[in-house]
Structure 1
Amino acid sequence: MSIESLGNGGWVGDAQSGGLSAGPSASCGDWSEQRQAALYRKLARHILPFLFLAFMVAYIDRVNVSFARLQMLADLKLSDTAYGTGAGIFFLGYFIFEVPSNLILSRVGARRWIARIMITWSIISSLTMFVNSAASFYVMRFLLGVAEAGFFPGIVLYLSNWFPSGRRTQIIAMFMTAIPVSGAIGGPLSGWVMSGLDGVSGVAGWKWLFLVEGAGSLAVGIAALFLLYDRIESVRWLDADEKALLRDDLARDATVRVEYSVWRALRSTRVWMLCLAYFCIAMGNYGLAFWMPTIIKASGVASVGNIGWLSAVPSLISAVAMVLIARHADRRNERRRHVALCCTLGAAGLLASVLGAASVPVALLALVLAAIGINAIAPVFWGIPTALIGGSGAAAAIALINCTGNLAGFVSPFMVGWLSDLSGGKLLPGMLTIAAALLLGAGLVLVLPRRREAAAGSDRF
C-alpha cells in the first residue's frame, strides 16, 4: 500500500477490538474528505520515511547475530544453547528498562530520547565485534537490550500523537514493513560483509558485520535530532488550518479511549491479557528472525552469500502482504480474527519449513507463508491497545505490552537452541513449541472484548 491510499479511512476503532467512533470523514468545519486525506498523506510523507529507516537499522542490529552465528560459533566454540541464550538475553535488558524508557520519552519528547536510544545501541552493537567468550557475548547482548529499550513502543506512542485510530493500523503497518525489509536488505548485506570482508586486516567476517551495521545506526541516530518533531506546533510544513484540523481529529479520537493512569495500566487485567497474547506472537516473530538462516542452510544451501539472498525472498513478499492485510483489517473494521488467522498461518509455515527441509523450494515456500503470517500480526495487533487505552497510562501500557511480549525474544531462541542440542541438532522440537505459542496467542486474542461497552467497563472479563 502506498501513502496515497491513506485517505480511504473508515471507522476509527474496531468493533472487534474496542473503538467505535466515526472516522476521519467526521471532522468538523469546511474540510472535505479529500482535503483531510491530503493532510494525512502529507503527514505520512514527512514522518514515516525516517521512522521506517530507523526501525530498519534497529532490527538489522538486533538480529544480525543470526548471520554472525554462521561463523561466530566455530570461532568462539559456542554451542547452540549458548547462542540461543546470547541471542535472547538482549530481551532481558529490554524488559527491565522498557517502561521507564517510554515514560521518559513521554516527558522529554521523542526527538532527544529516540536519538539517545539509537546512538547508544549503535555503539554497543559495534563493540560486539570484540566478544571472545560466551560470557562476553551475553554481556554485550544484555547491554544492547538496555540501550534499545523504549524504541518501538516509543514510536507507537509517537504515531498515536499524529494519526487518529482510523488511520493508525495502516500507518503502523507501513512503519513495521521495516521488519521484513530489514530482512530483505540485512540478509544480503550481512552475507556480503561476512564473505567479502572476512580476513580483511586480519578481522573475521562476523566482526566486520557488527562494526559496519552498527555504524549505520549511529548515522541515523544523529539524524533523529534534526528530523523528528515533538509537537504539532513545532512543524513548519503544516499551515494553521492543517494544525487546527489535526488537533481536532486527535482530540475527538481521544474521547473514545478509556482514560488510564499509569497505576491503572500496570494493574489492568486487560493490559496483562494483551501482554500474554503479544508474548505468544513474539515467540513466532523471533523464532523466524533468529532461525531462518539456519533453516535455509539445513535445506542444503551452503554458501553464506546465497543464504543471505534467499532469506530476502520471504521478507520482501511478507512486506507487501502485511500492508495489504492491515488495510483489509481497517476496511472490515475487524482485528481479532485477522490476528488469529495470521498466527495460524505463521505456525503452519514454520512447521512446514522444517518438515520440508530436504527440499530448498519447499522450505523456501513454507518460509514465505510463515513470514506472511508472522510479520502481518503485529501491525493489526497494535491497533487494539492503541484504540482501547488513553490518558497518561497509555505510554506505560504500550511499553508494558511490548516489553512483556518481547521476553519471548529471550525464551524463543533459547528454547529452540536448547531443544536443538537435546535432539542432536534437529529444529523440529523447537518449531513445534513456537507453533504452539502462536496458536495460543490466536486463542487469547479471540477472547478479547468484542464491544466498546466491554472495553470501557471493568478491567475484568
Structure 2
Amino acid sequence: MSANAFPLSPQTSIEAVQERDVTFRRIVWRLIPFLTLVWFLAWTDRVNVGFAKLTMMSDLAWSDAVYGAGAGIFFFGYFFFEVPSNLLLQKIGARKTIMRIAIGWGLMCVLMAWVKTPTQFYILRFLMGAFEAGLQPGVILYLTYWLPAHRRGKALAFFVSASALSLMLGSPIAAYLMAALQGVGGYQGWQWLFIVEGIPSVLAGLAAWFVLSDSPAKAKWLSAQQKTHVQYELSAEAATLGPREHSFMASLRDPRIWVLILIFFCIVAGNATLVYYGPSIVREVGITDIKTLGWVMAGIYACGWLGMIGNGWLSDRAKEVRWHTAVAAGIGALGLLLTAYFLGQKSPMGVILSLALSAAGTMGSIPIYWQIPSRYLSATALVVGVAVINSIANLAGYFAPQLLGALKTATGQYAQGLTMIAVVQSLATILVLVFISREKGRTEVPV
C-alpha cells in the first residue's frame, strides 16, 4: 500500500494514525494473551525440574552432575530442531506448528513422572527440547508478520515475560503441588508435579488451531481496511530500514550474525543459571522449607517479570534497543557476582536481593535483544536466522547448568561457577555496545 493512501494533511494524518492504532490494539489483544499463555506453559514445563530436583534427587539417588546434564540436554533438542521448526512454520503456518509443539512437549512432561534412570531422564529432556524447539523464534518471526518494530517491543516484552511470570507463579504452585500430593496414589510429589503441569500444555496445543490465524491476510476477524493498515506500516518500516540481507547462506558469512549469536549465548548463560539453580542457591543459605522457598523464588522471578515489562516499555518509549539491551545484561551479570559474594558471607538476604537484581537485568534484556536481528535480516534470512541464533545461543542453557553442577560436585559450593558465568554474561554488554551500530539500535515510526 502506498503512503498516498493516507493524505498528508495534519488532521487526516492524525486520524490515519489513530485508525491504525485501533487496528494494532485489536491484533495485540487477539494474539498476545494466547501466545503468552503458551509460552507460560512452555516455561512451566521446562523448568519445573528445578523444583522437582529438591526431592527427586534423593529419591532416585542422583548427583548434581546428573541433574545438570539432564537439565541442560534440553537445549540440544533446541539446537537440532529449531531451524526445521521455523521453516515448517513458514510452510504450514503458525496454527499447526504451535499445536504440534505444545502437544508434544506436554506429553514429554507427563512422561517425566516415570523416569527411573539417568538415561531415561536425558532422553525425555532431549525430546522435550526437540518438541519445544521453534516456539520462541517461531513466535518472534510470526509477530513480524503482524506488527512493525515500533509496536513490537511491548508485545514481545509481554510474550517473553511469560517465562518470568511462569517462574514467579510456578514456584509456589510447584512447591504446594509437591507438598499436597506427596504420596497420593502411591506417587511422589515430584511425579505429580510433572503430570499436573504437563496436561494444560496439551490442551493449549489443541486450542491453538481455533485461536490463531497464520497471517493478517487470512485473519477473518480483520476488516479489509484493517489489513491495509498492517500492510502500510510493515511496508513503511521496510523502507526505513534500507537494504538487509535476504539470503540465509550469505548472512552466515556476515560476522555480525555470529556476534548476535554470541551476545544471546552470554545472556542465556545467566538466565539458565537463575532458572535451573535459583532454588538450590537459595537453599544453600538455609531456606529449606519447600513452601517458603517457593515464595522466595516467586519474589525473585517477579523482579525478572518487572524487568521485562519495564524495559520493554522504556525501549518503546525511547525507540531505542542498543543501550536497553546492554545495560540490562550488565545488571544481570552484576547480580550474579553479588550472589557469589553473599553466598560466601552466608547472607540469606544478600543472596535473595542479588538474585532478584540479576533476574531483573538478565530477563529484562531478552525481549529487547530480539528486536535487533530483524534490523539486519529479512525474508528467508530472518526465518532461518532467528532460529539459528536461538538454537546455537541456547546451548549456553546446556553448558551453564553443566558447569555449575560439575563445580558444585567437585568443590561443594556454587560461588566459583556463578563468578565464571557472570563474567560470560558481562561480555554481552561489551559486544552490544561495540558491534551494534547506533542506527540499527533505533526505530522510526511511520506517519
Instruction: Tell me the TM-score normalised to structure 2 length.
Output: 0.92
Structure 1 stretches lacking a partner, 5+ long = 1-24, 456-461
Q: Distance in 1 between matches of 2:5 and 2:394?
A: 37
Which residue of 2 is the match for residue 21 of structure 1? none
Deviates more, 1:329-338 or 1:429-438: 329-338
Using the TM superposition, give the Cα deviation of residue 353 of structure 1 relative to its aligned residue in structure 2, in angstroms.
2.5
1:391 is matched by which residue type in structure 2? A
Q: Distance in 1 between matches of 2:377 and 2:21?
A: 25
Which residue of 2 is the match for residue 79 of structure 1? 63
SS at match of 1:325: helix
Deviates more, 1:166-175 or 1:324-333: 324-333
Alignment match of 1:442 (pick from 417, 429, 440):
429
Alignment match of 1:367 (pick from 346, 355, 358):
355
Aligned-residue RMSD, C-alpha: 1.9
Using the TM superposition, give the Cα deviation of residue 35 of structure 1 relative to its aligned residue in structure 2, in angstroms.
2.3
Q: Note the 1:82-121 alignment, pairs <5 A.
A: 82-121=66-105
Q: Contact between 2:146 and 2:215, CA under 8 Å: does it hold in 1?
A: no
Q: Distance in 2 between matches of 1:428 and 1:74?
A: 23
2:433 is matched by which residue type in structure 1? L
Alignment match of 1:348 (pick from 319, 334, 337):
334
Q: Distance in 2 between matches of 1:26 and 1:368?
A: 50
Alignment length, in residue pairs? Answer: 430
Which residue of 1 is the match for residue 445 of structure 2? none
Alignment match of 2:145 (pick from 155, 161, 165):
161
Alignment match of 1:196 (pick from 166, 180, 188):
180
Q: Distance in 2 between matches of 1:428 and 1:304?
A: 23
1:45 is matched by which residue type in structure 2? W
Confirm or deny that 1:333 pairs with 2:308: no
Q: Distance in 2 between matches of 1:444 and 1:307?
A: 35
Confirm or deny that 1:268 pairs with 2:267: no
Which residue of 1 is the match for residue 271 of structure 2? 285
Which residue of 2 is the match for residue 402 of structure 1? 390
Using the TM superposition, give the Cα deviation of residue 37 of structure 1 relative to its aligned residue in structure 2, in angstroms.
1.9
Q: Distance in 2 between matches of 1:167 and 1:27?
A: 21
Q: Distance in 2 between matches of 1:415 and 1:36?
A: 49
1:268 is matched by which residue type in structure 2? D
Using the TM superposition, give the Cα deviation of residue 41 of structure 1 relative to its aligned residue in structure 2, in angstroms.
1.4
Deviates more, 1:255-264 or 1:223-232: 255-264
Which residue of 2 is the match for residue 10 of structure 1? none
SS at match of 1:314: helix
Using the TM superposition, give the Cα deviation of residue 367 of structure 1 relative to its aligned residue in structure 2, in angstroms.
1.5
Q: Distance in 2 between matches of 1:386 and 1:192?
A: 42
Q: Contact between 1:27 and 1:249, CA under 8 Å: does it hold in 2?
A: no
Which residue of 2 is the match for residue 308 of structure 1? 294
Q: Note the 1:135-284 alignment, pairs <5 A.
A: 135-255=119-239, 256=241, 258-284=244-270
SS at match of 1:302: coil
Q: Contact between 1:191 and 1:304, CA under 8 Å: does it hold in 2?
A: yes
Q: Distance in 2 between matches of 1:319 and 1:310?
A: 15
Confirm or deny that 1:377 pairs with 2:365: yes
Q: Distance in 1 between matches of 2:422 and 2:61?
A: 30
Using the TM superposition, give the Cα deviation of residue 312 of structure 1 relative to its aligned residue in structure 2, in angstroms.
0.7
Q: Contact between 1:295 and 1:354, CA under 8 Å: does it hold in 2?
A: no
Q: Distance in 2 between matches of 1:440 and 1:449?
A: 13
1:241 is matched by which residue type in structure 2? Q
Structure 1 residue runs of 4 or more that deviate by more than 6 Å after TM superposition: none
